[in-house]
Amino acid sequence: MPDIDQIICQESNPFGSETLKVPDFWVQNQDQASTVNSIHQQQFLQLESVLDLVIEQKYSKTAVLSGDSGSGKSHLLARLKHEFNPKAFFAYIEFWVDDDYMWRHILRRTVDSLLQIPEGEQESQLLLWLKGLTIFQNQSIAQRILGERNVFINDLSRAFPSGLYNARNFFSVLFHLTNPELYPLACDWLKGEDLAEEDLRTLGVRRSIDSEDAAQGILINFATISSSTKPIVLCFDNLDNLPSLPDGTPNFKGLFNFNSTIHTRAIRNLFILISVVTNTWGQAKRQVPPADLALASRTVIRLKDINLDQAEALWAMRLYSLHAQATPQPRSSIYPLNRQQLQLYFPNPRARPRNVLEAGRQLFQQYKNGLVNSTPQPETVDIKSAFQLLWRSEYREVAGKISRVTTVATTDLIQMLVEALQALGITEIRKHLLNGAYSGYSLSYQKSGKVGVVWAENANMKSFYNIMKACQRANRECDALYLIRVTDVGTPRLSGHRIYREVFSNPPNKHIRENLTSVHHLATYHKLVKDAVANELIISGQTISLEKLEKLIRESKILQQCKLLRDLGIFGTTQTTQASSTQNPTPTPTASTSQPRTNQPEIVRVVNPEEDLKRYLVNQLNVQQFMGLETLINNAHQEFPELELTVIENVIKQLCEAKKVKILDPDAPRANQLIISVPRNA
C-alpha cells in the first residue's frame, strides 16, 4: 500500500469547497460521516430535554437555536433528526416567499418531510404516524377499519369527536393513504395541490386545500391527532430569506404569529424549533410584538465557538479516509496538519466549525503543493471553476428531489423565476401581476415593453377558469403575456379553455409548456441564492455575496441552458439546441416577430456529453491543481456513469494534446501518475 504522502498527492482535497456547503436535512448517516459528538453536545442535550417534555406533557413547546453563520446550526438540526427520529417525526421548513401563503407553505413542507423514509424504516414518516395512532394498536380493529372507508371515518370520528377541521374529509384522505395506488393522490391533497374534480371525487372530498384558513386547519389536525402518537418537530431554518420589510430586514411577524397561534390555541404535541443567525435573531426581537416574542423566547439556545480539541477532531474526521489507505499509518490523526497550525490560526483559542474546515483546506493544499514543487506554492484560487463544480453538485441533488414540476409550490416557482431574472439584469420585476386569490402565481417585468408571466399548474378546471379570467384582465396592461403550464388546459367546451384560446393564441402572447430540467435549473440557482443571502455560500474559501453570485451566473452562462428562460426570450434569438429540439406534440400558439427582443448575445448551444466532460475535467484540475490520473478518471466515471472508461481516457488524451492538462510523470506506473492543469498563459 502507498504511504500517506503518495495518497495525498493522488487524492482530492478532503476539505474541498463542496464539503463546506450547508448540509441537507435528510442526509443519511450524517452522524457517522461528518459529526464530532462533542461539538455542541450541551446544546444537543438541551434540545433533547425540550423534546422529552413535549413527549411527557403532550403540550407544544418552542425553542430558538441561535448561532453565528458557520457555527453549525443546520448540521445540528440534521443530527437531531438522525438521532431522535425513533421518538419524533421531523419536518424541515425553509422560508416562505409570500406571507399570503405562509400556512400553506408550512403545511406543504411538513407533508413533504413526512413523506421521507427514516433510517432503518421501510415506510414513510406519514404512514408511521398514521399507523401509530392508538386506534390501530388493536390488530383486529385495525384490520376492520382499514377494510372499509365509512368504518374507518366513523371510528376515527369517535376517537376524535371534536376540535378537528373538516374532519370527515380529512379522515377520508387518511383512509386512502393506506391504499398504495391512491397514496400519491392522498399525499398531493394533504400538501395542498389543487386537484382535478375527478381526483377529489376519488378521495371522497369536495375541494382542495385552497386557503390559509384551510391549511391552518389541516396542519392543526396533524398536531391534534399526533397527541396519541409521537410528536412532530417543525424545524424552521434559513430565515434570512423571509419576505422583506421596507428596510430590507426579514419580516418575522408571520412566523411568530404562527408560533403564538399554536400556543394560544393550546395545540398539542408540536416542538417548534427556530434556527436563526444571531444578528437576525436580534432584528427579530426588535420587530416582533412583546407578547409573541415572550411565547417564542422561553428557551433560547446559543451555539458557541468550539475549542481546539474539537477543531482537531474535525480535521481528523476529514482526513480519516486518506489515513485508512496508508501504510504505515500516519503518526498523527491530523497529519499532514498539526496542532501548532491550529494555534496559529486560532490564538483565541476558539473558532467556528466552518472556519476550522477552511483553515484545514488551505493548509492541506499548501502541503500537497509542496510535495510536487521544491518550493511550496501558495494556493491558486479558481472561483469560476469551483463554482461550476458546485453547480453540478447542487443541480444533481435538486434533480434527485424534484421529480415533477408540481413538486414545487407555484409561489416558489415564481420566486425562483424572479431571482433568475434579477441575476440576468432584467428590470422592473414585480410580483402579483394578477388580482385576487391567484396573484402569487404571477409577475411582470420590463423588456421592450411590459411582459407578464403567469405560472399555473392547477389541475382543477374551476381554478383554471378563474386564473384565465384574471389573465384576461391582466392582458389589457401587458405588451406580452406568457402562460407557463405543463398541465392540460381542458377541452374546448370548457369556459376556461375558451378564454385561454382567446388570450394566448394571439402573438406575442403564448403558452409555454415547461420541461422539468428548467425547474431544476431555477431550483438550483434558488438554493444558491438562499445560501448567499444567509452568508452560507462558501467557494474556495470565499464567502460569496448575492451580488457576486449573480456575476458568476452571468459569466458562466449556466442559465442559458434553462429552456424556460430561452422560451421567454431572455437571451435574444433562440437557436435549435439539443435540449430544445424535441417538438411539443401538442400545437401551441407561438410568438410573432413583434415579440420583445434584447441586444443580449444569442444563446450558446448545449454541449454534448464529451464537451461537458472536458469542462468537468479541467474544472476539477483547476480547483485541485493536481491529482492522481486514476483518481481523476474514477471521479469522472462517477460523474458521467453513462460514458465508458475508454471514452474518459480518450478525452483526457485530447486535453493533453491541446495542452490544457499535462501528465507530470508519463513513464511512471499508471497508478502513480499525476495530472495537472496547464495555466492558460503557459
Pick from 363-377, 548-562, 607-621 the range whose average pLDDT is largest. 548-562
Read off the pLDDT band of 594 (50, 70, 90). very low
| Residue 33 covered by a domain | no
* Together in a domain, 515 and 634: no
**Quick one: 592 exposed, middle or buried, by C-beta within 10 A (0-12, 13-18, 19+)?**
exposed
Asked if pLDDT for residue 585 goes beyond 50, the answer is no
Q: What does the pLDDT look like over 454-482, one tens digit per residue? A: 999 999 999 999 999 999 999 999 999 99
Cell of 45: 442535550
Mean of pLDDT over the chain: 88
Ranges 152-161, 355-364, 590-599, most confident: 355-364
Neighbours of 374 (CB within 10 A): 6
Q: Are 441 and 499 in the same domain?
A: yes
Q: Are 409 and 493 in a shared domain?
A: yes
Together in a domain, 532 and 652: no
pLDDT at 590: 32
Whether 573 maps to a domain, the answer reads no
Same domain, 413 and 468: yes
Is residue 431 domain-resident?
yes
pLDDT tens, residue by residue, 203-251: 999 999 999 999 999 999 999 888 778 999 999 998 888 998 888 888 9
pLDDT at 227: 77
Same-domain status, 455 and 515: yes
In a domain, 68, yes or no: no
Do 560 and 478 lie in one domain? The reply is yes
Is the pLDDT confidence value at 346 over 70? yes
Is there a single domain that holds both residue 504 and residue 430?
yes
663, pLDDT greater than 50: yes
SS3 581: coil
Residue 301, pLDDT > 50, answer: yes
DSSP 24-79: PTT-TTHHHHH--TTTTHHHHHHHHHHHHHHHHH-B-EEEEEEE-TTSSHHHHHHH
Q: Are residues 493 and 557 in the same domain?
A: yes
Q: Is residue 193, in this structure, part of any structural domain at all?
A: yes
pLDDT tens digits, one per residue of 382-422? 899 999 999 999 999 999 999 999 999 999 999 999 999 99
Query: What is the percent of the chain where pLDDT is above 70?
Result: 89
- pLDDT of 443 > 70? The answer is yes
* Domain carrying residue 645: 609-677
Secondary structure of 359-426 in HEC code, one letter for each residue: HHHHHHHHHHHHHHCCCCCCCCCCHHHHHHHHHHHHHHHHHHHCCCHHHCCHHHHHHHHHHHHHHCCC
Q: 92-126: per-residue pLDDT in tens? A: 999 999 999 999 999 999 999 999 999 889 999 99
**Higher per-residue confidence, 220 vs 594:** 220
**Residue-wise over 23-58: b if at least 16 C-beta within 10 A, else e?**
bebbeeebeeebbbeebbeebbeebeebbeebeeee
- Position 595 scores a pLDDT of 35
- Using pLDDT thresholds of 50, 70 and 90, give the confidence band for residue 352: very high
Q: Which of 173, 204, 229 is the last residue of a domain?
A: 229
Over residues 519-550, the pLDDT tens digits come to: 999 999 999 999 999 888 999 888 999 999 99
**Structural domains in the chain (count):** 4
The reported pLDDT for the residue numbered 21 is 65
The number of angstroms, rounded, from the C-alpha of 596 to the middle of its chain's C-alpha atoms is 33
Q: Is the pLDDT of residue 150 over 70?
A: yes
Residues 331 and 440 in one domain: no
Residue 374 scores a pLDDT above 80:
no
Is the domain of 537 the same as that of 662?
A: no
pLDDT of 642 over the 60 cut: yes
Residues β-bridged to residue 59? 268
Q: Is the same domain home to 520 and 418? A: yes
Q: Is residue 478 part of a domain?
A: yes
Flag the least confident range among 276-280, 372-376, 396-400, 552-556: 372-376
C-alpha closest to that of 39 among 240, 249, 315, 270: 315
Share of the chain above pLDDT 90, in %: 74
Phi and psi at residue 243, in whole multiples of 5°?
-50, 140
Residue labelled with grid coordinates 514543487? 373
pLDDT of residue 48: 96
The answer as to whether 578 is a domain residue is no
Domain containing 626 — which CATH number? 1.10.10.10
Q: Which of 210, 229, 248 is the last residue of a domain?
A: 229
Other C-beta atoms within 10 Å of 121: how many? Answer: 13
Which of 545, 567, 589 marks a domain boundary? 567
Q: What is the average pLDDT across 575-592?
A: 33
For residue 355, being part of any structural domain is answered with yes
The answer to whether 462 and 494 have CB atoms below 8 angstroms apart is no
Q: Is the pLDDT score of 601 beyond 50?
A: no
Of 106-120, 125-139, 570-584, 591-605, minimum mean pLDDT range: 591-605
